[in-house]
Amino acid sequence: MKAYFYKLFKYNQWANNGLCRHLMALANEPIEVKKRMSHIVAAEEIWYGRIVPLDFQHLAVFDIQPWDILEPRLTASAQRWLDLVENTGDFEKVINYQNLSGRAFTSTMSDIMIHITNHGTYHRGQIATLLRQNGLEPLPTDYIIYSRTSDSF
């Protein structure tokens, strides 16, 4: 299971970092694009903090952040998740947490990890659609493209 999650989070890192660089290079990205990218970063921090308490305040889940905040936070988040995978022996560990509304839930670490990577994929897809709707070319972030690169593992 460790190898699976490592591969999943390396892909997530590759897709998020590549997309972030792509978006930063655009002259005028639509505000909804930056909103989605900000949300991806915030959600990764919030979910990670439910497993391992963070020693800083996570980003607000629906606030739009500038690139000089997003890029380093995205890089740090990817490393935290990869370190968590490396240092976890029990991916079925039960995590008790509260959602943003204060409602209590229980999920396994593996379910949270699968959720957070799928969450990023979902919003990257939205970003691609938004870019196309605004006459801009999206960055391909499909897993199979990642898996074909020689440095993907």
Domain boundaries along the sequence of the chain: 2-148
Express each pLDDT in 2-13 by its tens digit.
999 999 999 999
Q: E strands along 51-148, which residues? A: 94-98, 104-108
Mean per-residue pLDDT over the chain, rounded: 95
Q: What is the CATH number of domain 2-148?
A: 1.20.120.450
Whether the pLDDT of residue 151 is over 70: the answer is: no
User: What long-range pairs does 57-64 form, CB within 8 A, spacing at least 24?
Assistant: 61/100, 62/35, 62/38, 63/38, 64/31, 64/34, 64/35, 64/38
Express each pLDDT in 70-117 by its tens digit.
999 999 999 999 999 999 999 999 999 999 999 999 999 999 999 999
Bridge partner list, 107: 95
User: Could you tell me the CA-to-CA distances from 107 to 8, 12, 44, 64 in Å, in that order?
Assistant: 19, 21, 16, 28
User: For residue 68, what pLDDT band results from cuts at 50, 70 and 90?
Assistant: very high
104: Cβ contacts below 8 Å, ≥ 6 apart: 96, 97, 98
Task: Please check whether residue 48 is in contact with residue 85, taking contact to mean a CB–CB distance below 8 angstroms.
Answer: no
Express each pLDDT in 3-53 by its tens digit.
999 999 999 999 999 999 999 999 888 999 999 999 999 999 999 999 999
User: For residue 152, what pLDDT band results from cuts at 50, 70 and 90?
Assistant: low
Torsion from C-alpha of 133, 136, 138, 139, nearest 10 degrees: -170
What is the per-residue pLDDT for 23?
Answer: 96
pTM: 0.94
What is the per-residue pLDDT for 149?
Answer: 84
Cα separation of 21 and 8, whole Å?
20
